[in-house]
Amino acid sequence: MLDEPLRDVDARVAIRAIIEDGEVEFWAHAQEEMAKDKLSQADCLNVLRGGWPDPAEFENGQWRYRVHTQKICVVVSLGPRSTWPL
């Protein structure tokens, strides 16, 4: 867990690196929301690759980032920094 939020640009770099060389986990809640919106994991990964994060929000003990394109928003939290492929 991060003690401080990442700047938007740093979050974008970290998210892209994790997608390319790390591990992405879709929690049950995310899968439920994706099903409601008729989105696939590929759709969400594409948003994370090409979207832009809003400033971080601290919720339930972790920093979350809303990454969005013009049509889709995906909420992501980053695991421990030691697990990032940066």
Q: pLDDT-based confidence at 80, cuts 50/70/90?
A: low
- The four Cα atoms 69, 10, 16, 14 give a dihedral, to 10 degrees, of -140
For the chain, give every domain's residue range: 8-83
Contact 11, 53 (CB under 8 A): yes
Give me the pLDDT at residue 45, please.
95
State pTM to two decimals.
Answer: 0.84
Residue 86: pLDDT over 60: no
State the Cα–Cα distance between residues 50 and 63, nearest whole angstrom: 20
Predicted confidence (pLDDT) per residue in 14-72, tens digit: 999 999 887 888 989 999 999 999 999 999 999 999 999 999 999 888 889 999 999 99
